[in-house]
Amino acid sequence: MKNAKEIAAMTITGKERAAVERHDRTMNYINLTMMKTIEKAANEGNTCIELKVSSEIDRDLIVQVFTANGFKASYKGYYVSVDWWDSFY
């Protein structure tokens, strides 16, 4: 039988692995889904997008990544908004 410390260590490892997986899943979503949607919208003359994302995607990370790249980004619930027009002027 494992003791409580051993089980707690397993829990920490599991949480760390889940955080890495969530980060990777979110970055893939940004690069493979969101950027295609943004480029399509921009080519159509739009200045922003709004997407509904699943609970498996880290919305805080999305805002951090887009803000760091000059976009205006926010979310409310599971809806993420990204605006690039305000950053242009």
This model's pTM is above 0.85: yes
Q: Which amino acid is at 56?
A: E
More confident residue, 87 or 19: 19
Name the maximum alpha-carbon separation found in the chain.
64
CA distance 23 to 2: 30
pLDDT-based confidence at 88, cuts 50/70/90? Answer: low
Question: What does the block give as tokens for 42?
Answer: 């921009």
- Number of C-alpha atoms within 13 angstroms, CB side, residue 38? 18
Nearest to 28 by CA among 5, 54, 4, 10: 54
Q: Which amino acid is at 34?
A: M
3-state secondary structure of 26: helix
Average of per-residue pLDDT values in the chain: 96
